[in-house]
Amino acid sequence: MAGTFFTVLVYSSDKKKYGPGSGLLWIGRIPETCYHGRLALVIETVELTREFKDVVAVENLTMTVKEGEVFGFIGPNGAGKTTTVRMLCCLVNPTRGSAFVNGLDIANPKDRLKIRGMIGLLPETPGLYESLSAYRNLDFFAQLYGISREERERRIKDLLTALAVWDRRDDPVAKFSKGMKQKIAIARALVHEPSVLFLDEPTSGLDPQASMTVRNYLMDLKKEGITIFLNTHNLDEAEKLCDRIGVIQRVLLAIGSPEELSGKFWGKTTVVRLPLVTAEMVRAVEAIPSVSRVKEIEGKLLVELENPDRDNPLIVKALVDKGAQIEYVNELKHGLEDIYLRLIGGPK
Ligand SMILES: Nc1ncnc2c1ncn2[C@@H]1O[C@H](COP(=O)(O)OP(=O)(O)OP(=O)(O)O)[C@@H](O)[C@H]1O
Ligand SMILES: [Mg+2]
């Protein structure tokens, strides 16, 4: 029932469980994909559009991010990634369209406050208080969320230790390198234990070791079930971390898991390496009904087909029947870089 909105009132008379006077438990819109009481979609946008004076930054963006998913947003400079995140974090209003975070409407002032409380954001620039120490920066931010002193101490220690900057906790941020500031900003985005995390280029400017620390940390968060929306130019990082990827260039060009995106453009291809390829062998493979194309490149047969699991044994049999000595059979994989270049184009 796409586009259908429900308003639901939930009452309970169980005062013991919900406290005195709290008969009305919840009022709001149930997202279209709320299955069996479990919120399946954390982010949902419908034709979300943002125009600036003479630029359309994001146009008709319709997409979803599921609970516990790491979603990667990739696209060239100026593609609208940051603008999308800023809209979802209620920092800039859409021109048209709508979006929901945990079922809350980014256009509703009351919902906006709630959304801000449940999300963590690492913006493009860290925006820390330079004269305060790393610890005080995080402590100040955590206080704004009303977190108790004991709890603040525990969380800040855990975060700074995990991000390998605990030893520098008392130094003013002004003395930190770019990468260290980035780590403090990541810790700040997490100190109130948000359920949804928006990261705008978290490893930009980090050295390889620091990038790995951050990536490993994000993997741990993923295991904990936090939903992560990740803007990145690092395609390798996106491929390693993300369950699904959206490619944007003002409009959403493609969305899906890396395998789905690869399958969309290239279909399935099996690679068979042989010491000798004869025309007879090629014809035998071409004769298999579900094989759409056979190419020979540098002693390898590239066989495009519908269903490798089902048809690879047929290919092997056809080749062996023609006297082939098969060295290996493999699946041809197209990485995210191939997909990106296919969608966005090559060097400018
Ligand atoms: N506050 C603003 N005022 C005017 N134009 C803006 C503003 N913010 C963004 N834009 C424009 O919107 C477009 C999208 O910008 P955005 O920052 O969302 O891109 P991006 O994908 O994050 O790029 P990058 O990879 O460089 O960070 C750009 O053309 C940019 O100039
Ligand atoms: Mg950006």
Would the CB of 81 count as within 6 Å of ligand 1? yes
Which residue's CA is minimally distant from atom 12 of ligand 1?
A: 57
Q: How many residues does the chain have?
A: 348
Domain with CATH 3.40.50.300 in the chain: 39-256
How many angstroms separate the most distant Cα atoms in the chain?
83
Best residue among 83, 232, 233 to mutate for probing ligand 1's pocket (most ligand atoms within 8 Å of CB) is 83
Would the CB of 49 count as within 6 Å of ligand 1? no
Looking at residue 55, its pLDDT comes to 96
Which residue's CA is minimally distant from atom 26 of ligand 1?
A: 77
| 200 strand-pairing partners | 231
Looking at residue 347, its pLDDT comes to 63
Cβ < 5 A residues, ion ligand 2: 81-82
Cβ atoms 212, 164 nearer than 8 A: no
Q: Mapping DSSP to helix (H, G, I), strand (E, B) and coil, where does residue 70 land?
A: strand
CA 306 to chain centre: 28
Cβ atoms 63, 255 nearer than 8 A: yes
Q: How far apart are CA 141 and CA 42, in angstroms?
A: 24
Residues 6+ apart with CB under 8 A from 294: 282, 285, 286, 301, 302, 303, 304
- Structure-token pair, residue 62: 């319709």
Which residue's CA is minimally distant from atom 17 of ligand 1?
A: 82
Q: Mapping DSSP to helix (H, G, I), strand (E, B) and coil, where does residue 25 land?
A: strand
Cβ atoms 227, 119 nearer than 8 A: no
Q: Which letter does DSSP use for residue 327 in this model?
A: -
- For 133-144, the pLDDT digits (tens) are 999 999 999 999
Residues 6+ apart with CB under 8 A from 21: 15
Full DSSP string of 250-299: SEEEEEE-HHHHHHHHH-EEEEEE-S---HHHHHHHHTSTTEEEEEEETT
R_g (Cα) of the chain, nearest Å: 25
Distances (CA, A) of 108 to 93, 105, 111, 221: 11, 5, 5, 29
Domain with CATH 3.30.70.100 in the chain: 267-339
Domain 267-339 in this protein, CATH class: alpha beta
Å from CA of 51 to ligand 1 middle: 10
Nearest to 198 by CA among 86, 104, 281, 315: 86
Residue type, 138: L
Cβ atoms 248, 74 nearer than 8 A: yes
- pTM of the full predicted structure? 0.80
Q: Mapping DSSP to helix (H, G, I), strand (E, B) and coil, where does residue 320 land?
A: helix
Would the CB of 23 count as within 6 Å of ligand 1? no
Question: What is the end-to-end Cα distance of the chain in Å, rounded?
Answer: 43
Q: How far apart are CA 322 and CA 171, in angstroms?
A: 72
Cβ atoms 99, 290 nearer than 8 A: no
Full pLDDT tens readout for the chain, 348 residues:
334 344 344 434 333 333 333 334 444 444 444 443 444 899 999 999 999 999 999 999 999 999 999 999 999 999 999 999 999 999 999 999 999 999 999 999 999 999 999 999 999 988 899 999 999 999 999 999 999 999 999 999 999 999 999 999 999 999 999 889 999 999 999 999 999 999 999 998 888 988 998 899 899 999 999 999 999 999 999 998 999 999 999 999 999 998 888 878 777 889 999 999 999 999 999 999 989 999 998 889 999 998 899 999 999 999 999 999 999 999 888 888 888 988 887 666
Report angle CA 318, 319, 320 to the nearest 5 degrees. 95
- Structure-token pair, residue 36: 């069996």
Looking at residue 102, its pLDDT comes to 94
| Backbone region of residue 201 per phi and psi (left: phi > 0; alpha: psi in -120 to 50; beta: other values) | left
**CATH 3.40.50.300 holds for 39-256:** yes
